[in-house]
Structure 1
Amino acid sequence: MYERKTPDHLECGIKVTAKVIGSKWKPCIIDAITRGVHRPGALQREVGLTSRRVIQLQLKELEMHGIVEKQVFPVLPQKVEYHLTPLGQSILDVLNAMNTWGEANRERYSGELEPAS
């Protein structure tokens, strides 16, 4: 995994939140987990438009930040599921607010998220 050479300056809450969930796919992954999608392959199909590797990297970062926990079942073939931690549950209000704003302003933006004239 990429490691920054310069330190993060996390002097405000917005920067902390952006560091933890600020990517193209992390909010969508968290949303899918809250809707009962727990297996990596199912998460990749649910989120769509991205590779399994990207989903795995995003899950690894979410796990590193304590948002999700990985559960490995002792079966062959190996079965893995991801679940939100209590810390992950606490971020749902932020994601719900993002969703509410997005739904209220959906018509303003085209498919490419360019402001409508």
Structure 2
Amino acid sequence: MTNHNPTPRVGSTYGAPCGRSSDHLSGLIITNKDSRFTLQRIRLDSGGYDSGGAYWGHGQPLFWWSVTLSEEGCRDEDATGFMRASDRNAAKAKIRALHPAARFYR
């Protein structure tokens, strides 16, 4: 997977969006041929905004996940999204509950 910024600048004269677009984790089919998941905590400021200006509010820590899906005869496709979890291990457990074949970097 190429180096990807999960929180690029957003916003407009009308304000910041609530959250960011995300692929649906439950809709993916993960196999052992797919890449490992990248799982990164996204820091929020005291107002509940990420570094790119999207509003998430307060609550459990926010994590960004990414995986490259491999399909035979097709171009590899990246799937990315956001989730809330109490910590990194809890985020991994949520992903593994849906996809037992999921592997992670680090």
TM-score calculated relative to the size of structure 1: 0.25
Normalising by structure 2, we get a TM-score of 0.26
More strand by share: 2
In terms of Rg, which structure is larger?
1
Structure of higher RCO (CA pairs closer than 8 Å, 6+ residues apart): 2
